[in-house]
Amino acid sequence: MSGASHIPRRASLDAFLLASLVLGPLLSACPCATADQEGQPPEVTSKESDPQFRVQVQRNLVLVRVVVRDSHGRPVGGLQKENFKLTDNGKPQTLSHFAVEMPAEKARARTPTPAEETEPEVEPETTLAATTPERYLALFFDDIHMSFEDAMRTREAAERYLSTALQPGDRVGIFRASGEHNLDFTDDVGKLHATLRLILPRTIVPTRARACPEVSDYQGYLIVYQRDPFATAIAAQEAYQCYYEGQPNIDETFARASSQSIAEQEAVSALTAFQTETEYALRGLDNLVRRMSVAPGLRSIVLLSPGFLMLTAEQHVEEIVDRALRSNVIINALDSRGLFVRVPFGDASQNPAVMPHSAALAGRKEQLHLDRMNVVSEVLNELAYDTGGTFFHNNNDFNEGFQKVGSLPEVYYLLGFSPQNLKFDGRFHSLKVALNPREGYTLQARRGYYAPQKPEDPTSRAKEEIEQAVFSHDEVNELPVAVHMQFFKVNQLDTKLSILTHLDLRFVQFRKENGRNLNNLTFVTALFDRDGKYVTGKEKRVEFRLLDGSLEKLTQSGVTTKMTFDVRPGTYLVRQVVRDSEGAQISALNRTVEIPL
CA–CA dist 89, 57 (Å, integer): 21
**Contact by Cβ (8 Å): 63, 95:** no
**Region of residue 401 (phi > 0: left; psi between -120 and 50: alpha; otherwise: beta):** alpha
Going along the chain from its start, the domains and CATH numbers come out as 13-56+457-595 (2.60.40.150), 62-102+410-450 (2.60.40), 135-202+283-348+375-405 (3.40.50.410)
What does the longest C-alpha to C-alpha distance in the chain come to? Answer: 104
Q: Per-residue DSSP letters for 73-89?
A: S-B-----GGGEEEEET
**pTM listed for this prediction:** 0.72
Q: Tens-of-pLDDT digits for all 597 residues of the chain?
A: 333 333 333 333 334 433 433 444 344 334 444 444 456 678 888 777 776 554 344 447 899 999 999 988 899 999 999 999 999 999 999 999 999 999 888 777 654 444 433 333 344 443 333 456 788 999 999 999 999 999 999 999 999 999 998 888 899 999 999 999 999 999 999 999 999 999 999 988 776 666 789 999 999 999 999 999 989 999 999 999 989 988 888 899 999 999 999 999 999 999 898 899 999 999 999 999 988 887 777 899 999 999 999 888 899 999 999 999 988 899 999 999 998 765 554 444 444 444 555 676 778 888 898 999 999 999 999 999 999 999 999 999 999 999 999 998 899 999 999 898 888 888 899 999 999 877 789 999 999 999 887 766 677 778 878 887 887 767 888 999 999 999 999 998 899 999 999 999 988 999 999 899 999 999 999 998 888 888 999 999 999 999 999 999 999 999 999 999 999 999 998 999 999 998 889 999 999 999 998
Beta strands in 375-427 (DSSP E): 391-392, 412-417
CA–CA dist 289, 514 (Å, integer): 46
Sequence-ordered list of residues with C-beta below 8 angstroms from that of 365, at least 6 positions apart, any chain: 234, 345, 356
